[in-house]
Amino acid sequence: MPLSLPVASLLVGVLLWSFLRFVRSVVKKSPLDNIPGPASKSFLKGNFEELANPDLAFAFHRKISDHYGGIIKVHGPFQQKILYVFDPKALHHIAIKDQHIFEESDAFIAGNKLIFGDGLLGTIGDHHRKQRRMLNPVFSNAHMRDMVPIFYDVTYKLRDAISQLASQGPCEVDLLSWMSRTALELIGQAGLGYSFDPLLIGAPEHPYVESTKMLIPLISRLLFFRQYVLPWIHHIGTPRFRRWLLDVLPWKDAHELRDIIDVIYDTSITIYDSKKEAFAKGDGKVTDQVGGGKDILSILMRANMEAAAEDKCPESEVIAQMSTLIFSAMDTTANALARVLHLLSENQEAQDKLREEIIKAREEHHGELLFDELVSLPYLDAICRETLRLAHADAVLPFSKPVRGIDGNLMDHVMIPEGTPLLMSMLSSNTNPDLWGPDSYEWKPERWLSSLPETVLSAKVPGVYSHFQLEMKGKNIIWRMNNIAAPSVDGGLEPELPLMVELVKKPKA
């Protein structure tokens, strides 16, 4: 079947772009030429497959970080030079000190706009900062204190369901499914004033749960297209034309992504319209909803209505903020909870110690723990902790540890040409032996119960938490490196975490 004119034009454009990039990479000298790194596997893919393959990437990231140190040159498709960074001083400059220079890539922004709209993940610069300012109040400790009763209400439903499943003895439970349902209900009630799921055994999952569960693996499969093709085509024609083109293309992954985005958008519109209708009837109707009007969406909509004209966000942006919030909070929360539960299932001593700390605290405070009491539990805090930006102008990036260049000379900085892609590896930073010591790859909550090494305290690395502190070694459970790490059985494509669950027998008095 002959190619349609739009598809043929797209292929010609991509081929021409790749050829020009190849010529430029061969002819033009770059300051990155002297940075050491692994050899490119191929002209077409570079190191892309090694960096992004869900089943192989963990080992590759560890291999290059151990061998080359905190500043590494890797290759993208068509020999594009990419700077792989986990040196703490360099990370500080990229993420904090010079963040106005290092912005997210066009591919990152274009992809997020297609999925979520013009929310936090789809904007940069002053537009992004304006949105953040409007959201700041809802992430304060004061607001989190108001949310604790909602968290208890939801988690008690989870407790009752799991207890019922295990009431007849030990049983296998897919805890990722239950964590996903719980995370969505938590963000639904606390974030949106909306209930998605009664958390009852046998109750069907909300379509949003299944959609978001499959979104991250799907985005990973489309990563090459998103990074190297989408920035060139996402603005072509009208939205109606782009939708038509997507519908006629014989591309299963793209059609699955389309359907997931439709579920995300339709869900967001339903919730927003319900909240908008409640506001139209007066604040009394808002406070009658789940969350009592203290949920993030109610606060955001109220603040937007009261804002000066120049500070107001369009309705489409508020909906995009909501879509971004639901997905980000649900998927990261569900996978983080699953990660902790899997680690605890393999570390009985840590599991017993944590349970003992919580039981003792509840006895001392005569029941439920309030926000300040929860965050002050040292071992719980220790366990929680142990768990592509683009340069928009030439910049000098300093290193905390000198790098020996390919020419044999030591370098304590490098000039980053405008347009250089940067890959910030928090995975390698969070397991860097220079910061954490020789046991950096071990899961040891106890490291947070005493003074951290001075190398960690002085690093000033943003977000130093061990999301990928340990390679998972549970029987048949393999964590795949998607955009957000997710568990699977024997490396299968379906995210799941089946663990044996049993009720704890209370000791006899």
For the segment 310-369, what is each residue's pLDDT rounded down to a tens digit?
Answer: 778 888 888 888 888 787 777 778 888 888 899 899 898 999 999 999 999 999 998 888
pLDDT at 157: 95
Q: Reply yes or no on whether the pLDDT at 465 is more than 50.
A: no
Q: Reply yes or no on whether the pLDDT at 6 is more than 70.
A: no
Task: Quote the CA–CA distance of 394 and 17 in Å, as a whole number.
Answer: 23
Residue 21 — very low, low, confident or very high, per pLDDT cuts 50/70/90?
low
Residue 472 — very low, low, confident or very high, per pLDDT cuts 50/70/90?
very low
C-alpha closest to that of 119 among 263, 338, 268, 271: 268
Length of the chain: 509
Q: Reply yes or no on whether the pLDDT at 259 is more than 90.
A: yes
Identify whether the C-beta of residue 268 lies closer than 8 Å to the C-beta of residue 323: yes
Identify whether the C-beta of residue 482 lies closer than 8 Å to the C-beta of residue 219: yes
Identify whether the C-beta of residue 90 lies closer than 8 Å to the C-beta of residue 70: yes
pLDDT at 8: 60
Task: Quote the CA–CA distance of 280 and 390 in Å, as a whole number.
Answer: 43
pLDDT at 467: 26
pLDDT at 255: 95
Instruction: DSSP for 338-358, please give it.
Output: HHHHHHHHH-HHHHHHHHHHH
pTM: 0.78
Q: Reply yes or no on whether the pLDDT at 193 is more than 90.
A: no
Mean pLDDT along residues 458-478 = 50
Strand pairing category for 171-174 and 498-501: antiparallel
Sequence-separated (6 or more) residues with CB below 8 Å from residue 260: 211, 212, 214, 215, 218
pLDDT at 163: 92
Among the CATH numbers 1.10.630.10, 3.30.930.10, 3.30.70.360, 3.40.50.300, which is that of 25-329+392-442?
A: 1.10.630.10
Mean pLDDT along residues 433-451 = 88
Find where tokens 């606390």 sit: 190
Mean pLDDT along residues 219-233 = 83
pLDDT at 37: 95
pLDDT at 388: 44
pLDDT digits (tens, 9 = 90+) for 377-412: 999 888 888 874 444 566 778 888 899 999 899 998
Q: Between 483 and 458, name the one with better pLDDT.
A: 458
Find where tokens 């439903």 sit: 157
Mean pLDDT in the chain? Answer: 82
Own/partner pairs for 266-275, CB < 8 Å, 24+ apart?
A: 267/207, 267/208, 267/326, 268/319, 268/322, 268/323, 268/326, 269/319, 271/192, 271/194, 271/297, 271/322, 272/297, 272/315, 272/318, 272/319, 272/322, 274/194, 275/192, 275/193, 275/194, 275/301
pLDDT digits (tens, 9 = 90+) for 277-291: 888 887 666 776 766
Find where tokens 């405070």 sit: 365
Report phi then psi at 421, rounded to 5.
Answer: -70, 140
**Can you name the residues that pair with 421 across neighbouring β-strands?**
390
Identify whether the C-beta of residue 42 lies closer than 8 Å to the C-beta of residue 69: no
C-alpha angle 121/257/317, rounded to 5°?
30
Q: List the domain boundaries for the chain.
A: 25-329+392-442
Q: Between 95 and 433, name the one with better pLDDT.
A: 433
Q: Between 231 and 5, name the one with better pLDDT.
A: 231
pLDDT at 469: 44
